[in-house]
Chains A and B, each alone.
Chain A
Amino acid sequence: QQQVKQSPQSLIVQKGGIPIINCAYENTAFDYFPWYQQFPGKGPALLIAIRPDVSEKKEGRFTISFNKSAKQFSLHIMDSQPGDSATYFCAAAVSGTYKYIFGTGTRLKVLA
């Protein structure tokens, strides 16, 4: 089944903390895993993405960890700031198509 499970549904951290958002999939026909950040009333914005042949990717304060054997990937936000408060979606691109399957989203709040 083409599904991406995302957890937690919501997350509250203190400024400077490291929130971690997890996603898991069952179908192996995924070949690209992006993360999106969405602020209220705005469209999702691509944050960072990874391919399954890479175990970790860092861009600024954002890191994706990818465990191919466990079919899991996660987003870490280092030194989180109140401005990071948003909803985060993981996604997976279905091989051989142009389609993406989205996770259910995580609402993050970073307290000042």
Chain B
Amino acid sequence: DAMVIQNPRYQVTQFGKPVTLSCSQTLNHNVMYWYQQKSSQAPKLLFHYYDKDFNNEADTPDNFQSRRPNTSFCFLDIRSPGLGDAAMYLCATSTGGTGYEQYFGPGTRLTVT
């Protein structure tokens, strides 16, 4: 009973070649998040949506963009991946209500060659 699904689990892309990571959820949660996590570090919030309202973190590079076409799906686009973008990308969801519980997907490991 997967709740937050990320595809693919592993992605290899070339330097500068655009890549899209996808996330879907079966929880019907209002809020969806994208985090970047590098080895031995905490997850770093890139952006989040409350429904269709998009919130970008001030330090998220312009190279990263996101789309949320409907409640269930959210995409992370990396327009021109650099070697420094190699990381685990985590999608998470939350009700956005008083519960505040946040559920993470299994992540997509991105390798840039």
Which A residues fall within an 8 A CB radius of B? 31-32, 34, 36, 41-46, 49, 89, 91, 93, 98-100, 102-105, 107
Identify which of residues 35-72 in chain B touch chain A, using a CB-to-CB cut-off of 8 Å. 40-43, 45, 48, 50, 55
How many A-B contacts are there with CB distance less than 8 Å? 52
A selection of 13 A-B contacts at a CB cut-off of 8 Å is A41-B107, A41-B109, A43-B90, A44-B104, A49-B101, A98-B33, A98-B96, A99-B45, A99-B48, A100-B45, A102-B42, A102-B43, A104-B41
Q: Decide if B105 is an interface residue (CB 8 Å cutoff).
A: yes
Which B residues fall within an 8 A CB radius of A? 4, 6, 31, 33, 40-43, 45, 48, 50, 55, 90, 92, 94, 96, 100-107, 109
**Shortest Cβ distance from A89 into B: residue:** B42
> Which DSSP category, helix, strand, loop or mixed, fits chain A's interface?
strand
CA gap between A43 and B4 in the complex, in Å: 10
